[in-house]
Structure 1
Amino acid sequence: MLADIDTWVLDLDNTLYPARSALAEQLTHGILSTIAQYYETDLAGARRIQSELVAEYGTSLRGAMVTGTIDPHEFLDFERRIDYSVIGPDPLLATALDALPGRRYVYTNGSAYHADQALSRLGLTDCIDGVFDILAGELIPKPYAESLDAFLQLYDVDPARAAMFDDLEVNLALPHERGMTTVWVTDGTPYEQVAERRWRTADVRTFLATLDV
């Protein structure tokens, strides 16, 4: 299956490592703490504000920039204080990625710094041909068309020959409309096809192991 795919597009957070990991917890706390400081509120207030910003603008950073004057580099500075040692090598995932034909990219709403640190700890750096981060997208995040178009143009990706993995279903709607095969990484069955060129899996490693490529 998916024998026609030659470009593999992978989200990072909650996709290449589990959503329940200590790294995901640190990211959430870092974002909430930054929002709390910027909007002068407590963590409960920050959680409410974050939910509103993400719903309206796609990411907390984009929302804070549109509704305020925060500097994006200042917002992302919390990533420099994250302890990335809480995640370790995933040799089975590395083997599965290495076996894929064609190119493999990380497409993330986080920063390249965060992606580089996480990929290094996971032992996946050599498996990835490039990272497209929020700064490469000129601070416009998934799921906006401007972000997807910038990614496709930068790496000369043919959507009809690309598969995209993401833990947020909303981030996969437009890629699917453009002709990409999509794989929603979420709780549930190890893997299943839910529609033409649409799949769902509980784990990227498990899904890739089923491919005949």
Structure 2
Amino acid sequence: MLADIDTWVLDLDNTLYPADSALAAQLTHGILSTIAAYYRTDLAGARQIQADLVAGYGTSLRGAMLTGTIDPHDFLGFERRLDYSVIEPAPDLAAVLTALPGRRYVYTNGSAYHAEQALSRLGLDECIDGVFDILAGKLVPKPYAESLDAFLGRFGIEPARAAMFDDLEVNLALPHERGMTTVWVNGEVPSERLAERRWRAADLLGFLRANI
């Protein structure tokens, strides 16, 4: 069912490594701490602010920029303090990704720095042909059309021949409308076909092994 795919679009956080990773917890704490410092509140207040920003603007960063004056590089500075050694190498995933026909890209709302550090630790850096981050998207995140169009244009991707994997279902709606095969990696259920060219999977590795 993926025989016509020659471009593989991979989210990073909670997709190439699981949501229960210690790195995911560090990311959450880093974002909340940054919001708390910028808005001069505690972590409980930061959680509510983050929820409002994400609901209204797609990401905390974009919301903070549009409603305030924070510099994006200052906001993303917490990534430089993350301990990436908590990620375990993923040789099995590396082997499966390497065997995929065509090109493989990471499409993330994080920064290229974050992606590069995580990919290196996972042992996946040699498997990836390019990274499209929040800065490449001019700070417009998934799921907005401006971000998707910029990503597709940057790498010359034909949607009908591409499959996109993401842990957030909202990020897959527009790609599916554009003709991409989409796989929602939600960590909870076995692989299941939801509709034509739409799938749900417990994890990326298991889905690829079963369907390639």
Give the TM-score range, shorter chain: over 0.9
- The equivalences for 1:28-177 within 5 A come to 28-177=28-177
- 1:66-110 per-residue CA deviation (whole Å, 9 max, x = no partner) reads 000000000000000000000021011001101100000000000
Between the aligned partners of 2:190 and 2:184, the Cα distance in structure 1 is: 11
Whether 1:210 and 2:182 are equivalent positions in the alignment is no
- 1:131-171 per-residue CA deviation (whole Å, 9 max, x = no partner) reads 00000000000000000000000000000000000000000
Between the aligned partners of 1:97 and 1:155, the Cα distance in structure 2 is: 18
Coordinate RMSD, CA, aligned: 0.6
Percent identity over the alignment?
79
Letter in 1 for 2:144: Y
For 1:13, the equivalent position in structure 2 comes to: 13
Between the aligned partners of 2:211 and 2:6, the Cα distance in structure 1 is: 13
Runs of 4+ in structure 1 deviating by more than 2 angstroms, as ranges, are 187-190
What is the Cα deviation at residue 210 of structure 1?
Answer: 1.2
- Aligned residue pairs total 212
Q: Which runs of 5+ in 2 are unaligned?
A: none
With normalisation by structure 2, the TM-score equals 0.99
What is the Cα deviation at residue 192 of structure 1?
Answer: 1.3
Partner secondary structure for residue 44 of structure 1? helix
With normalisation by structure 1, the TM-score equals 0.98
Between the aligned partners of 2:190 and 2:99, the Cα distance in structure 1 is: 19
